[in-house]
């Protein structure tokens, strides 16, 4: 088993770019795909990135995902921040025993 | 369009067994590869995966909760049921039903149901 560690909170101004990290505690981050989910207050999570860097239909290209083997981390980058991007973001990966390993979540404030 | 909806008690007492039902539409367990799972989220906290059941009745459970969980499906009713025994106040959470696509290679959960808040209190 492994853990995924995210910063508790990040904040940035509208129009700027923010990156949220997700660090895997053991095992190779690149061995298993990473998903990113957005959860607005009072709503269910929705997918913004899957398979490390793919965007579902309807998710703007301001959202991008990447994986870095050297830091053993995945990252979600949101450019051209909008107030509507304010939400909690969760990363998720898996291993053979556990299909759903989630990070602790990052609260994004756009101010 | 795929939709999932959770139903069950909003309040259970400590030591009781929780039974939640997920009714879904837009896909079927007759499709090879599809799965339905449960994920929970305590108020203000992180997501925790609980269980998953596949089209072929293969079942997976969270290693930390395996002894308390049972997941089952009814293909004809498009329904998945999760039972969790010996409920405790720390199990207070919103419980989500989730779809795992038939062609998924990454353990993606999409979409999610609206969730149902279960409070454990005497």
On chain B, the residues whose CB falls within 8 A of the CB of A101 are 49
Do residues A95 and A86 lie in contact, with contact meaning Cβ atoms separated by under 8 Å? no
Average pLDDT, rounded, for chain B: 96
What's the longest Cα–Cα distance across chain B? 44
Sheet arrangement for strand A73-78: A4-5, A18-24, A73-78, A63-68
Q: How many residues does chain A have?
A: 111
Residue of B nearest to A99 (CA): B107
| Tens of pLDDT, residues A30-87 | 999 999 999 999 999 999 999 999 999 999 999 999 999 999 999 999 999 999 999 9
Cis omega (within 30 of 0) on the bond before B111? yes
The residue written with tokens 């709503």 in the block is A43
A96 touches chain B (CB under 8 A): no
**A 57-86 residues inside an 8 A Cβ radius of B:** none
Dist CA A87 CA A90 (whole Å): 10
Percent of chain B with pLDDT over 70: 100
Token duo for residue B89: 């106040």
Interatomic CA distance for residues B22 and A75, integer angstroms: 32
With beta carbons under 8 A apart, name residues in chain B contacting A56.
110
Instruction: Examine the pLDDT at B36 and tell me if it is beyond 90.
Output: yes
Q: Label residue B18 by pLDDT band (50, 70, 90).
A: very high
- Cα–Cα distance, B91 to A23 (Å, whole number): 27
Per-residue confidence band for B86, with pLDDT thresholds at 50, 70 and 90: very high
> What is the average pLDDT across B17-33?
96
Assigned token pair, B12: 């259970």
Decide: helix, strand or coil at residue A77.
strand
Measure the CA–CA gap between B43 and B39, rounded to whole angstroms: 13
């Amino acid at each position: 088993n492994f853990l995924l560690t995210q910063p508790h909170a990040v904040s940035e101004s509208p129009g700027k770019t923010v990156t949220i990290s997700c660090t895997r505690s053991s095992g190779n981050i690149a061995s298993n795909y990473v998903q990113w989910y957005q959860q607005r207050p009072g709503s269910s999570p929705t997918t913004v990135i899957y398979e490390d860097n793919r965007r579902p239909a309807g998710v703007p290209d301001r959202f991008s995902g990447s994986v870095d083997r050297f830091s053993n981390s995945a990252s979600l980058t949101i450019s051209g921040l909008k107030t509507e991007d304010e939400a909690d973001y969760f990363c998720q990966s898996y291993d053979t025993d556990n299909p759903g390993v989630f990070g602790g979540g990052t609260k994004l404030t756009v101010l | 369009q795929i939709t999932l909806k959770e139903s069950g008690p909003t309040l259970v007492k400590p030591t009781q067994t929780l039974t939640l039902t997920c009714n879904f539409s837009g896909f079927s367990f007759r499709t090879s590869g599809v799965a339905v799972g449960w994920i929970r989220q305590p108020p203000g906290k992180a997501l925790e995966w609980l269980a998953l059941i596949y089209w072929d009745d293969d079942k997976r459970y969270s290693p930390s909760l395996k002894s308390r969980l049972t997941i089952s499906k009814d293909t004809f009713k498009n329904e998945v049921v999760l039972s969790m025994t010996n409920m405790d106040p720390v199990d207070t959470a919103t419980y989500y039903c989730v779809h795992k696509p038939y062609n998924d290679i990454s353990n993606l959960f999409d979409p999610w149901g609206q969730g149902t808040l279960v409070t454990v209190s005497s």
